Amino acid sequence: MDADLLGHIKNSKVDLPAILSMFALFSFLLNDIYWLCFEILYPGEKMPFSVNAIGEYAFLMLLVSMYKQLFDSYKLKITIENMIIAVMTAIYMCLWIRWSGTWTGNIIGAVAFGYLICIIVGLIIEYEPIPSKYLYFILYIAIAQLMLNLMAEFFTSGAATATVNGIMYAITYVPAFVFLAITIRKMASKTDNRGYLIMTGGFLVWCLNAMYVSGDYWYELGDLLSTSALVFLYIGIKREGEKI
């Protein structure tokens, strides 16, 4: 890469978040293209650790970098909320390893995704783009989701498992639409772009969470919602640049 361009990226607080978001979106695109090709060529098979996984983890870490540049005064803190997130992410990591049989990819993915969630939750707590009661409501849903997931995995079978999974999928998507409604409202107001970007991040990570724990058409819903979140993210980054 050209030395002048590197210097410009390093010294420009305006351009760097936009560049990081552009790289993140490109990684997301490569991830989806690979996933689509794999599904067409090998329908029904589990995807191995591959370029797809690398693109997905790069996407997550680039988003972390983007938010840390946008909110450069924010420092990630050890809080009860983040400790709960860390424990829940570790449990899900074990469930993903149990399902896929691959250690390396799931450990890297869980760390990247958990870190992004901690950043977003920390920003929501510090900047308060929504009342704290919404955050605790979403936390309770996340705990219920995990309990139902564990129940379906270890304590039920047959039709009972399908019923528990159906309940889990239904309640998992409730916060997604709460985030979506708040994000759209903030987008329309145009008065708090930083708050809008935080809520867009919350909408995105929750939709990814919903997608990761879902199956069948519920998975497709999560994929559709998380992709729409990237459109909201692009709008927020564009507005942030126009303010300068």
Show me where the domains of the chain are located: 3-242
Higher pLDDT, 174 or 39: 174
Name the amino acid, one letter, at 132: S
Euclidean distance between the first and the last CA atom of the chain, given in angstroms as a whole number: 26
Mean pLDDT for 194-212 is: 93
pLDDT, residue 66, reads: 92
Q: What is the pTM for the complete model shown?
A: 0.86
- Look at 242 and 108; give whichever has higher pLDDT: 108
128 vs 229, more confident: 229
Examine the pLDDT at 7 and tell me if it is beyond 70.
no
Does the pLDDT value for residue 8 go beyond 60? no
Indicate if the pLDDT at residue 225 is higher than 90. yes
| pLDDT reading at 181 higher than 50 | yes
What mean pLDDT is predicted for residues 184-207?
91
**Predicted pLDDT at 198:** 94
Does the structure show a pLDDT above 80 at 87? yes
Q: Pick 241 or 163 by higher pLDDT.
A: 163
| Residue 103 binned pLDDT confidence (cut-offs 50, 70, 90) | confident
pLDDT, residue 179, reads: 92
Q: How confident is the model at residue 5 (pLDDT cuts 50, 70, 90)?
A: very low
